[in-house]
Amino acid sequence: MDAFTLLKNDHAEAADVLQKLAATDEDAAAERQQLFNKLKTALDIHAHIEETIFYPVLKQEAETREITLEAYDEHKEIKDLLKQLSGTEPTGNAWDNLVGDLKRTVEHHVKEEETEMFPKASAVFSQQQLEDLGTRMQQEKQRQQQQKAASAR
Ligand SMILES: [Fe+2]
């Protein structure tokens, strides 16, 4: 699987969970917490594979350097919001506002990657390179998923 396909699938999954999370009712606290945990795990792993495998390669090319540096900053924002949400009761205005912020930030980040970063990257990297990056990210994703599942047991 090439890098773009893998990352776009991740984006679609995150958007789906975010949508569900934003639509939950205040008295569905347990469901909210469960969806939030699922989202946090997915975004943590997604950010990790991008930051350790994809971005370091993109950062080296002049055409993709600036957009990649921006993406690191956006990941920081997303992680900060996830951290704040982890310490917030899943009821009330504070939670709603944070989920709204997270949804906007993730949507912006996804749009920027898919409409700016990926087209720029596809002009710089060969299909083979993109396949290799995709394979490495997929392997690391699976490793992380297994690790998280094991530590949750
Ligand atoms: Fe990202």
Q: What is the pLDDT of residues 103-112, one digit of tens each?
A: 999 999 999 9
Cα(96) to ligand 1 centroid in Å equals 23
Cα(50) to ligand 1 centroid in Å equals 6
Instruction: Over range 68-80, report the average pLDDT.
Output: 97
Condensed to tens digits (0 to 9), the pLDDT of residues 42-67 reads 999 999 999 999 999 999 999 999 99
Tokens of 82: 């996830």
Identify the pLDDT of residue 54.
98
Identify the pLDDT of residue 109.
96
- Say how many Å lie between the first and final Cα of the chain, rounded: 30
Cα(134) to ligand 1 centroid in Å equals 14
Tokens of 50: 């991008």
Given a cut of 80, is residue 152 above it in pLDDT? Answer: no
Cα(61) to ligand 1 centroid in Å equals 18
Instruction: Over range 20-39, report the average pLDDT.
Output: 91
Condensed to tens digits (0 to 9), the pLDDT of residues 124-142 reads 999 999 999 999 999 999 9
Given a cut of 90, is residue 87 above it in pLDDT? Answer: yes
Given a cut of 80, is residue 153 above it in pLDDT? Answer: no
pTM of the model as a whole:
0.93
Mean pLDDT of the chain: 95
Cα(27) to ligand 1 centroid in Å equals 31
Cα(110) to ligand 1 centroid in Å equals 7
- Picking from 75, 70, 60, 44, the residue whose alpha carbon sits closest to that of residue 121 is 60
Identify the pLDDT of residue 44.
96
Around ion ligand 1, residues with a beta carbon closer than 5 Å are: 50
Count of beta carbons in the 10 Å neighbourhood of residue 84: 15
Count of beta carbons in the 10 Å neighbourhood of residue 118: 19
